[in-house]
Amino acid sequence: MALSRRYATWPPGEEGWVGLDLTGVLPVGSGIVSATLQFFTNTNPANATTDFGEAPVDHVGRRAWCPISGGVAGRDYQLRWTINDNRNHVWSRTVLMLCAESA
């Protein structure tokens, strides 16, 4: 995830992976035990969307990732991650992603 909390532009209808690296956030000795990902349109208010298909989220150590496909050109999305660590903490992170043709 970029420091701006925005993923690179996603080409409409593409398949690929998105992920979240909490290495700089979780203390040494902590690890992810579960993670979920939800998609919303980046509007006010944000609305849940089915524009993306996704497989189950996977994780190792302090990183989580998920294969996804889809997206509609011109839409901005919120990808909301919910991460649970081995110390019973919940880490909620929202990352923005614009769906548009890439150069």
pLDDT value at residue 4: 61
Cα separations (Å) of 25 from 1, 15, 37, 82, 99?
Answer: 12, 28, 18, 14, 28
pLDDT value at residue 76: 97
Closest by Cα among 80, 95, 91 to 39: 80
pLDDT value at residue 5: 83
Average pLDDT over residues 56-80: 96
List 91's β-bridge partners, or say none.
83
Cα–Cα–Cα angle for 57, 58, 63, rounded to 5 degrees: 110
User: What is the CATH architecture of 14-98?
Assistant: Sandwich (2.60)
- Render pLDDT for 6-41 as a digit per residue (tens, 0 to 9): 898 999 999 999 999 999 999 999 999 999 999 999
Cβ distance 68 to 58 under 8 Å?
Answer: no
Average pLDDT over residues 83-96: 96
pLDDT value at residue 101: 86
- Render pLDDT for 45-61 as a digit per residue (tens, 0 to 9): 999 999 999 899 999 99
User: Where would I find the beta strands (DSSP E) of the chain?
Assistant: 14-21, 32-41, 47-48, 52-54, 58-60, 63-70, 76-85, 90-98
What is the C-alpha separation between 86 and 28, in angstroms, rounded?
11
